[in-house]
Homo-oligomer: A and B are copies of this chain.
Amino acid sequence: LFFGCFTSIHGCKPAKAVVSSELPLGSGLGSSAAFCVALSAAILALSDSVTMEFSHQGWQVFGENELELVNKWAFEGEKIIHGKPSGIDNTVSTYGNMIKFKSGDLTRLKTNMPLKMLITNTKVGRNTKALVASVSERTLRHPTAMASVFTAVDSISSEVAAIIQSPVPDDLAITEKEEKLEELMEMNQGLLQCMGVSHASIETVLRTTLKYKLSSKLTGAGGGGCVLTLLPTLLSGTVVDKVIAELETCGFQCLLAGIGGN
């Protein structure tokens, strides 16, 4: 695909792509989408038909139209890798910030509070297709109960979207919002357990972070993969170091990430 993309733009010219990544692969963090977006952007950046600004601290920045093109190409790449991707991973990789996804509709959110998250990779391999199938089967066996569970998840997502989009006047307001988000993360994790997509390794991360009064939830399809832990603005670095040390003792890999940036 990317070869075709390249030759249609540049003709048959020699080129070498060097890929380096800090993202763990195949752990539900969207590394394949990040790869597709980076490669699409690199190929388009080489073409003469695309205009770019160089004003951002030496980085090349695409305009809105170019980003749309990058996103479309990346989505085609995702289709080849995943079969039926939602498009959420490549869209986040392209535009940054946060995205609301509901029944196929993607909405880009303008966040008013950057969040700091600890990402813990349990290193337990997942089978996304099998997990999705097991949720579908549980839904067939218990349609009424599961319908309510999905309604609750939807309601929690809307609350989260409202919180991160509302204005943040001061530090006190940030702390208050972070506490709300922590409660919603705990609730969401309970609902994911109800769907049967949690895993012993995920529970270990939850228990470890809870000792430090930090809230966590699985991310991606579950059944292993990665866990997100909200790190409140006022949390001391010492605590963060302790949590990371304890999680690494369990054999997990920890990454720090700012969520909701551009």
- Per assembly, the copies of the chain total 2
Given contacts A138-B183, A148-B155, A203-B207, 20 further A-B contacts (CB under 8 A): A141-B183, A142-B156, A142-B159, A142-B183, A142-B184, A144-B155, A145-B156, A145-B187, A146-B152, A148-B152, A149-B152, A149-B191, A151-B151, A186-B194, A186-B196, A188-B194, A190-B191, A190-B192, A190-B193, A190-B195
Q: B-facing mask of A18-49, CB < 8 A → 1, else 0?
A: 00000000000000000000000000000000
A69 CB-CB contact with B under 8 Å:
no
How many chain-A residues does the 8 Å CB contact rule pick out?
A: 34
A200 interfacial by beta-carbon distance below 8 Å:
yes
> CB of A1 within 8 A of chain B?
no
Residues of B within 8 A of A138 (CB): 183, 187
**A178 → B minimal CB distance (Å):** 14
A142/B195 in contact, CB under 8 A: no
Q: In the complex, A187 Cα to B135 Cα: how many Å?
A: 12
B145 touches A159 (CB 8 A): yes
